[in-house]
Amino acid sequence: MSDDEKKTPVVATNLELFLSEVKFDHTALNVGRDVGLGEVVETVQLGNVSFSKVIVFDTDVLFSKNLERVFSTADPKPDADPPQVDAPDPPPAADLLISLLLTSRRSEAVIGDLTERFQKDSREYGAVRARRLYWGRALRSVWPLLRRAVGRAIRLGAFVEAVRRFF
Amino acid sequence: MELTTLEQHAMLAIMALQPNAYGISIQDHISQKAGYEPSAGSIYAALDRLEEKGFVKSKAGEATPERGGKRKFYFSLTAPGRRALDHSMNAVHSLGDAAGWQEAVA
Protein backbone atom coordinates (compact mmCIF):
# COMPACT_ATOMS: atom_id res chain seq x y z
CA MET A 1 0.00 0.00 0.00
CA SER A 2 1.53 3.28 -1.10
CA ASP A 3 1.28 6.47 0.90
CA ASP A 4 -1.07 8.16 -1.52
CA GLU A 5 -3.48 5.25 -1.23
CA LYS A 6 -3.89 5.86 2.50
CA LYS A 7 -6.61 8.10 3.86
CA THR A 8 -5.94 10.50 6.67
CA PRO A 9 -6.62 8.60 9.89
CA VAL A 10 -10.09 9.24 11.26
CA VAL A 11 -10.49 9.56 14.99
CA ALA A 12 -13.78 8.52 16.53
CA THR A 13 -14.07 10.26 19.84
CA ASN A 14 -16.72 8.22 21.60
CA LEU A 15 -17.27 4.59 22.35
CA GLU A 16 -20.72 4.32 20.68
CA LEU A 17 -19.41 5.62 17.39
CA PHE A 18 -16.46 3.29 17.58
CA LEU A 19 -18.65 0.24 18.27
CA SER A 20 -21.14 1.12 15.54
CA GLU A 21 -18.33 1.53 13.05
CA VAL A 22 -16.48 -1.63 14.01
CA LYS A 23 -19.61 -3.73 14.67
CA PHE A 24 -17.88 -5.82 17.30
CA ASP A 25 -18.77 -6.57 20.85
CA HIS A 26 -16.46 -4.37 22.84
CA THR A 27 -15.75 -7.16 25.32
CA ALA A 28 -14.17 -9.13 22.49
CA LEU A 29 -11.52 -6.50 21.97
CA ASN A 30 -8.16 -7.18 23.49
CA VAL A 31 -4.78 -5.68 23.01
CA GLY A 32 -3.07 -7.17 19.99
CA ARG A 33 -6.02 -9.36 19.10
CA ASP A 34 -7.02 -9.51 15.47
CA VAL A 35 -10.73 -8.68 15.24
CA GLY A 36 -11.19 -9.30 11.54
CA LEU A 37 -11.93 -5.79 10.38
CA GLY A 38 -9.04 -4.35 12.28
CA GLU A 39 -6.73 -4.78 15.19
CA VAL A 40 -6.82 -3.40 18.70
CA VAL A 41 -3.52 -1.77 19.41
CA GLU A 42 -4.17 -0.22 22.78
CA THR A 43 -6.83 -0.50 25.49
CA VAL A 44 -7.17 1.72 28.48
CA GLN A 45 -9.45 0.97 31.42
CA LEU A 46 -11.02 3.99 33.12
CA GLY A 47 -13.35 2.93 35.88
CA ASN A 48 -15.82 0.41 34.42
CA VAL A 49 -15.33 1.55 30.83
CA SER A 50 -12.67 0.36 28.41
CA PHE A 51 -11.42 2.67 25.75
CA SER A 52 -9.68 1.08 22.79
CA LYS A 53 -7.65 2.43 19.97
CA VAL A 54 -8.22 0.23 16.92
CA ILE A 55 -6.80 0.18 13.44
CA VAL A 56 -9.77 -0.68 11.24
CA PHE A 57 -9.72 -1.52 7.57
CA ASP A 58 -12.31 0.36 5.56
CA THR A 59 -14.69 -2.44 4.44
CA ASP A 60 -16.21 -0.35 1.64
CA VAL A 61 -12.95 -0.19 -0.19
CA LEU A 62 -11.19 -3.16 1.37
CA PHE A 63 -10.74 -5.06 -1.85
CA SER A 64 -10.36 -2.16 -4.20
CA LYS A 65 -7.91 0.14 -2.45
CA ASN A 66 -7.14 -1.65 0.78
CA LEU A 67 -7.31 1.59 2.78
CA GLU A 68 -6.65 1.86 6.44
CA ARG A 69 -8.61 3.99 8.86
CA VAL A 70 -7.83 4.50 12.45
CA PHE A 71 -10.62 4.75 15.01
CA SER A 72 -9.86 5.67 18.51
CA THR A 73 -12.18 5.65 21.45
CA ALA A 74 -9.63 7.34 23.60
CA ASP A 75 -10.76 10.13 25.88
CA PRO A 76 -12.14 12.91 23.63
CA LYS A 77 -10.15 15.37 25.74
CA PRO A 78 -6.74 13.75 25.95
CA ASP A 79 -5.37 16.55 28.09
CA ALA A 80 -8.27 16.49 30.52
CA ASP A 81 -7.65 15.23 34.05
CA PRO A 82 -8.98 11.79 34.91
CA PRO A 83 -12.40 11.79 36.56
CA GLN A 84 -12.13 13.11 40.11
CA VAL A 85 -13.58 11.14 42.96
CA ASP A 86 -14.66 13.34 45.87
CA ALA A 87 -11.97 13.07 48.55
CA PRO A 88 -13.36 12.06 51.95
CA ASP A 89 -13.28 14.64 54.73
CA PRO A 90 -11.42 14.11 58.00
CA PRO A 91 -13.54 13.97 61.18
CA PRO A 92 -14.54 17.56 62.07
CA ALA A 93 -14.82 16.78 65.81
CA ALA A 94 -11.11 15.92 65.93
CA ASP A 95 -10.30 19.23 64.22
CA LEU A 96 -12.43 21.08 66.75
CA LEU A 97 -10.61 19.39 69.62
CA ILE A 98 -7.22 20.49 68.25
CA SER A 99 -8.38 24.02 67.47
CA LEU A 100 -9.57 24.51 71.07
CA LEU A 101 -6.02 24.05 72.36
CA LEU A 102 -4.11 26.22 69.93
CA THR A 103 -3.90 29.67 68.45
CA SER A 104 -5.52 29.93 65.03
CA ARG A 105 -2.13 30.01 63.28
CA ARG A 106 -0.87 26.86 65.04
CA SER A 107 -4.15 25.00 64.67
CA GLU A 108 -4.07 25.74 60.94
CA ALA A 109 -0.63 24.11 60.76
CA VAL A 110 -1.54 21.07 62.89
CA ILE A 111 -4.92 20.42 61.25
CA GLY A 112 -3.36 20.95 57.81
CA ASP A 113 -0.70 18.34 58.60
CA LEU A 114 -3.26 15.88 59.97
CA THR A 115 -5.43 16.43 56.88
CA GLU A 116 -2.47 15.87 54.55
CA ARG A 117 -1.77 12.56 56.32
CA PHE A 118 -5.48 11.71 56.20
CA GLN A 119 -5.66 12.21 52.41
CA LYS A 120 -2.61 9.99 51.94
CA ASP A 121 -4.04 7.33 54.26
CA SER A 122 -7.44 7.38 52.56
CA ARG A 123 -5.76 6.73 49.20
CA GLU A 124 -3.71 3.89 50.67
CA TYR A 125 -6.10 2.28 53.15
CA GLY A 126 -9.58 3.68 52.41
CA ALA A 127 -11.67 6.30 54.19
CA VAL A 128 -12.71 4.20 57.20
CA ARG A 129 -9.18 3.29 58.28
CA ALA A 130 -7.94 6.79 57.43
CA ARG A 131 -10.55 8.27 59.82
CA ARG A 132 -9.44 5.90 62.56
CA LEU A 133 -5.80 6.84 62.01
CA TYR A 134 -6.77 10.52 61.99
CA TRP A 135 -8.50 10.19 65.35
CA GLY A 136 -5.48 8.30 66.70
CA ARG A 137 -3.08 11.02 65.60
CA ALA A 138 -5.35 13.80 66.83
CA LEU A 139 -5.76 12.19 70.26
CA ARG A 140 -2.01 11.54 70.55
CA SER A 141 -1.52 15.23 69.86
CA VAL A 142 -3.96 16.41 72.50
CA TRP A 143 -1.84 15.68 75.59
CA PRO A 144 1.30 17.66 74.60
CA LEU A 145 -0.84 20.51 73.31
CA LEU A 146 -2.97 20.51 76.44
CA ARG A 147 0.14 20.53 78.63
CA ARG A 148 1.50 23.43 76.64
CA ALA A 149 -1.81 25.35 76.85
CA VAL A 150 -2.05 24.78 80.62
CA GLY A 151 1.59 25.79 81.11
CA ARG A 152 0.96 28.98 79.21
CA ALA A 153 -2.17 29.74 81.22
CA ILE A 154 -0.30 29.18 84.51
CA ARG A 155 2.54 31.44 83.40
CA LEU A 156 0.07 34.11 82.31
CA GLY A 157 -1.82 33.75 85.60
CA ALA A 158 1.42 34.06 87.59
CA PHE A 159 2.37 37.17 85.60
CA VAL A 160 -1.02 38.78 86.19
CA GLU A 161 -0.77 37.95 89.90
CA ALA A 162 2.73 39.48 90.09
CA VAL A 163 1.52 42.66 88.38
CA ARG A 164 -1.42 42.89 90.79
CA ARG A 165 0.89 42.56 93.80
CA PHE A 166 3.21 45.22 92.47
CA PHE A 167 0.41 47.73 92.00
CA MET B 1 19.48 27.88 77.49
CA GLU B 2 18.84 24.16 77.69
CA LEU B 3 17.07 22.23 74.96
CA THR B 4 14.97 19.12 75.45
CA THR B 5 15.81 16.07 73.34
CA LEU B 6 12.81 16.66 71.10
CA GLU B 7 13.70 20.32 70.68
CA GLN B 8 17.23 19.30 69.76
CA HIS B 9 15.97 16.72 67.25
CA ALA B 10 13.47 19.17 65.77
CA MET B 11 16.19 21.79 65.29
CA LEU B 12 18.52 19.27 63.64
CA ALA B 13 15.65 18.18 61.36
CA ILE B 14 14.94 21.80 60.44
CA MET B 15 18.62 22.25 59.53
CA ALA B 16 18.64 19.10 57.41
CA LEU B 17 15.38 19.83 55.61
CA GLN B 18 15.91 23.45 54.59
CA PRO B 19 13.98 24.99 52.91
CA ASN B 20 11.22 22.39 53.23
CA ALA B 21 10.98 22.04 56.99
CA TYR B 22 7.33 21.91 58.04
CA GLY B 23 5.40 19.73 60.48
CA ILE B 24 5.12 16.52 58.46
CA SER B 25 8.60 16.62 56.96
CA ILE B 26 10.13 17.27 60.42
CA GLN B 27 8.08 14.43 61.91
CA ASP B 28 9.08 12.02 59.12
CA HIS B 29 12.74 13.02 59.35
CA ILE B 30 12.85 12.36 63.10
CA SER B 31 11.01 9.09 62.57
CA GLN B 32 13.53 7.94 59.92
CA LYS B 33 16.71 9.15 61.58
CA ALA B 34 15.97 8.86 65.31
CA GLY B 35 13.71 5.81 65.18
CA TYR B 36 10.68 7.17 67.03
CA GLU B 37 7.65 9.03 65.77
CA PRO B 38 6.65 12.05 67.80
CA SER B 39 3.02 13.12 67.48
CA ALA B 40 2.12 16.25 65.54
CA GLY B 41 1.13 17.80 68.87
CA SER B 42 4.56 17.09 70.42
CA ILE B 43 6.32 18.54 67.39
CA TYR B 44 4.27 21.71 67.37
CA ALA B 45 4.48 22.12 71.15
CA ALA B 46 8.30 21.90 70.83
CA LEU B 47 8.36 24.26 67.84
CA ASP B 48 6.11 26.66 69.73
CA ARG B 49 8.54 26.71 72.68
CA LEU B 50 11.49 27.19 70.34
CA GLU B 51 9.76 30.05 68.56
CA GLU B 52 8.94 31.65 71.89
CA LYS B 53 12.63 31.43 72.87
CA GLY B 54 13.58 32.98 69.53
CA PHE B 55 15.44 29.88 68.30
CA VAL B 56 13.27 29.21 65.26
CA LYS B 57 11.03 31.34 63.10
CA SER B 58 8.12 30.28 60.92
CA LYS B 59 6.77 31.52 57.65
CA ALA B 60 3.35 30.76 56.18
CA GLY B 61 3.50 28.85 52.92
CA GLU B 62 0.98 27.67 50.40
CA ALA B 63 -2.47 26.28 51.12
CA THR B 64 -3.23 23.15 49.13
CA PRO B 65 -6.48 21.21 48.59
CA GLU B 66 -4.74 18.15 50.04
CA ARG B 67 -4.40 20.05 53.32
CA GLY B 68 -8.06 21.07 53.30
CA GLY B 69 -7.09 24.60 52.28
CA LYS B 70 -4.82 25.02 55.31
CA ARG B 71 -1.41 26.62 54.87
CA LYS B 72 1.92 24.98 55.56
CA PHE B 73 4.22 26.72 58.02
CA TYR B 74 7.90 26.44 57.18
CA PHE B 75 10.48 26.65 59.95
CA SER B 76 14.07 27.87 59.93
CA LEU B 77 16.70 28.36 62.61
CA THR B 78 17.63 31.82 63.83
CA ALA B 79 21.22 32.81 64.76
CA PRO B 80 20.53 32.41 68.52
CA GLY B 81 18.94 29.07 67.66
CA ARG B 82 22.10 27.89 65.91
CA ARG B 83 24.19 28.96 68.88
CA ALA B 84 21.86 27.20 71.32
CA LEU B 85 21.94 24.04 69.22
CA ASP B 86 25.72 24.18 68.96
CA HIS B 87 25.99 24.63 72.72
CA SER B 88 23.57 21.77 73.34
CA MET B 89 25.33 19.39 70.94
CA ASN B 90 28.73 20.24 72.44
CA ALA B 91 27.36 19.52 75.91
CA VAL B 92 26.14 16.08 74.77
CA HIS B 93 29.50 15.29 73.15
CA SER B 94 31.46 16.51 76.20
CA LEU B 95 29.35 14.42 78.55
CA GLY B 96 29.72 11.44 76.22
CA ASP B 97 33.48 11.85 76.04
CA ALA B 98 33.75 12.24 79.80
CA ALA B 99 31.83 9.00 80.27
CA GLY B 100 34.04 7.22 77.73
CA TRP B 101 30.85 6.51 75.84
CA GLN B 102 32.42 5.65 72.48
CA GLU B 103 34.86 3.16 74.04
CA ALA B 104 32.08 1.70 76.18
CA VAL B 105 29.82 0.91 73.24
CA ALA B 106 32.61 -0.13 70.85
B41: nearest CB among A112, A115, A145: A145
Instruction: Decide which of A40 and A166 is more confident.
Output: A166
Tell me the whole-structure pTM to 2 decimals.
0.64
Mean pLDDT of the region A77-90:
57
Chains A, B: CB contacts within 8 A come to 72
Burial B56-85 (b: 16+ CB within 10 A, else e): bebeebeeeeebbebbbbbbebeeebeebb
Q: Give me the sign of the Cα torsion angle B46, B49, B53, B55.
A: positive
Within 8 A of A115 by CB-CB distance, chain B residues are 66-68, 70
* A4, pLDDT greater than 90: no
pLDDT tens string A85-144? 556 788 888 888 888 888 888 899 999 999 999 999 999 998 889 999 999 999 999 999
Residues of B in contact with A90 (CB under 8 A): 68
| B chain contacts of residue A114, beta-carbon cutoff 8 Å | 40
pLDDT computed for residue B89 by the predictor: 95
Taking the Cβ of residue B87 and every Cβ of chain A, the question of whether any pair is shorter than 8 Å is answered with no
pLDDT in tens, B51-75: 999 999 999 998 888 999 999 999 9
Mean pLDDT (whole number) for A5-14:
43
Q: With contacts defined as CB-CB under 8 Å, which chain A residues touch B67?
A: 112-113, 115-116
Q: A74 or B97: which carries more pLDDT confidence?
A: B97
The one-letter amino acid at A144: P
- Shortest CA gap B101–chain A (Å): 32
The whole-angstrom separation of Cα A29 and Cα A54 is 9
Of A108, A119, A144, the CB nearest to B42: A144
Exposure on the CB side of residue A66, measured as CA atoms within 13 A:
3
Omega of the bond prior to B19 within 30 degrees of 0, cis?
yes
B5 has pLDDT over 50: yes
What confidence tens digit (pLDDT) does each residue in B76-100 have?
Answer: 999 999 999 999 999 999 999 999 9
Confidence of residue A46 (pLDDT cuts 50, 70, 90): low
Q: Is B48's CB within 8 Å of A109's CB?
A: no
A66 pLDDT above the threshold of 70: no
Contacts of A110 in chain B (CB under 8 A): 23, 40-41, 44
Q: String of b and e for A16-41 (b: at least 16 CB within 10 Å)?
A: eebbebbebebeebeeeeebebbebe
Amino acid making up residue A80: A
Residue A16 CB contacts under 8 Å (≥ 6 apart), including other chains: none
Q: Is the pLDDT of residue A1 over 50?
A: no
Tell me the three state secondary structure of residue A71.
strand
- For all residues of chain A together, what is the average pLDDT? 66
Q: Do B44 and A109 touch (CB under 8 A)?
A: yes
pLDDT given for residue A167 in this prediction: 72
Predicted confidence at residue A138, as pLDDT, reads 93
| B66 vs A116, A141, A142: nearest CB | A116
More confidently predicted of A61 and B52 = B52
More confident: A51 or A96: A96
CB contact under 8 A, A102 and B44: yes
What's the confidence (pLDDT) of residue A18? 52
